[in-house]
Chain A
């Protein structure tokens, strides 16, 4: 593999993992907030 191959592999791995994690949290958060009454949805 060329140097650029490694560089792209590293970057894509990182971006993919972070994006997946963020998506999972947000989707789970949305699903959960729909099942909670409005006064419990905010934490601040």
Chain B
């Protein structure tokens, strides 16, 4: 149901963004990239917020449920951050003429991506569920201060060395363009919720499976001992 709605929304968004909406006065057709870039960024930020909230609740309430939410959100956040970098890079290539620029926002997004990979690596490296929950919760909780510090330092770093800032057009968008953008953000949120639900279900079943595997192994040993 939610999947069908999401799919329809994506189709409508593509139609709106690629066909219906007019090209921009300053940006030309490349404005159509923003209709995918901005929603992806928004969804990525939302996922990171979810990781932080989830990690906090894991430490506070020791809730295994939130542990799975946080980890699902982290995986999705890593994916969306990668997409942010990719689409941003494509946009940069079309407007600035380079695929990469040592711009504060770009640089700190790249660092954010690496931090998320670190979080996921901690999860993958730990087998025991309780230890995994605690460790990843601490890493997840530190994610936000890390991002803030990285962002501040990169911002200062560039502002010291870069005299001319990049041309960053902020056209006042309105009408169909604004609608498309807002619609795009809504679609991205729908898509995020849908993907999160599926990812969460997978993580949940994986945990059940691991537990059951342990139970089965114990049962087999007991049967062996009894016979």
Q: Which residues of A contact B (CB under 8 A)?
A: 1, 3-4, 6-7, 9-11, 13-14, 17-18, 21-22, 25-26, 28-29, 32-33, 35-36, 40-41, 43
Q: How far is it, in angstroms, between the C-alpha of A7 and the C-alpha of B32 when the chains are bound? A: 6
The minimal Cβ–Cβ distance linking B113 to chain A, given in whole angstroms, is 14
Contact partners of B37 in chain A: CB under 8 A = 10
Q: In the complex where A3-B29, A6-B30, A7-B18 touch, is A14 in contact with B205 (Cβ < 8 A)?
A: no
- Interface size on B, as a range, is 20 to 34
Indicate if the CB atoms of A4 and B29 lie closer than 8 Å.
Answer: yes
- CB closest residue in chain A, given B82: A17
Q: Which residues of B contact A (CB under 8 A)?
A: 14, 18, 28-30, 32-33, 36-37, 40, 79, 82-83, 86-87, 90-91, 93-94, 191, 195, 198-202, 204-206, 208-209, 212
Indicate if the CB atoms of B30 and A3 lie closer than 8 Å.
Answer: yes
Query: Which of A1, A14, A22, A28 makes the CB contact (< 8 A) with B83?
Result: A14
Q: Would you call the interface of chain A mostly helix, strand, loop, or mixed?
A: helix
Indicate if the CB atoms of A13 and B205 lie closer than 8 Å.
Answer: no
Q: Would you call the interface of chain B mostly helix, strand, loop, or mixed?
A: helix
Indicate if the CB atoms of B36 and A35 lie closer than 8 Å.
Answer: no
Indicate if the CB atoms of B209 and A32 lie closer than 8 Å.
Answer: yes
Q: In the complex where A6-B30, A11-B14 touch, is A40 in contact with B198 (Cβ < 8 A)?
A: no
- CB closest residue in chain A, given B84: A14
- CB closest residue in chain A, given B205: A32
The minimal Cβ–Cβ distance linking B111 to chain A, given in whole angstroms, is 20
Query: Which of A6, A11, A22, A33 makes the CB contact (< 8 A) with B205?
Result: A33
Indicate if the CB atoms of B86 and A18 lie closer than 8 Å.
Answer: no
Indicate if the CB atoms of B29 and A40 lie closer than 8 Å.
Answer: no
The minimal Cβ–Cβ distance linking B66 to chain A, given in whole angstroms, is 13
Q: In the complex where A10-B36, A14-B36 touch, is A32 in contact with B206 (Cβ < 8 A)?
A: yes
Q: In the complex where A3-B29, A14-B87, A28-B202 touch, is A36 in contact with B212 (Cβ < 8 A)?
A: yes
The minimal Cβ–Cβ distance linking B67 to chain A, given in whole angstroms, is 13
Contact partners of A10 in chain B: CB under 8 A = 33, 36-37, 86-87, 90-91
Q: In the complex where A3-B94, A10-B87 touch, is A43 in contact with B212 (Cβ < 8 A)?
A: no
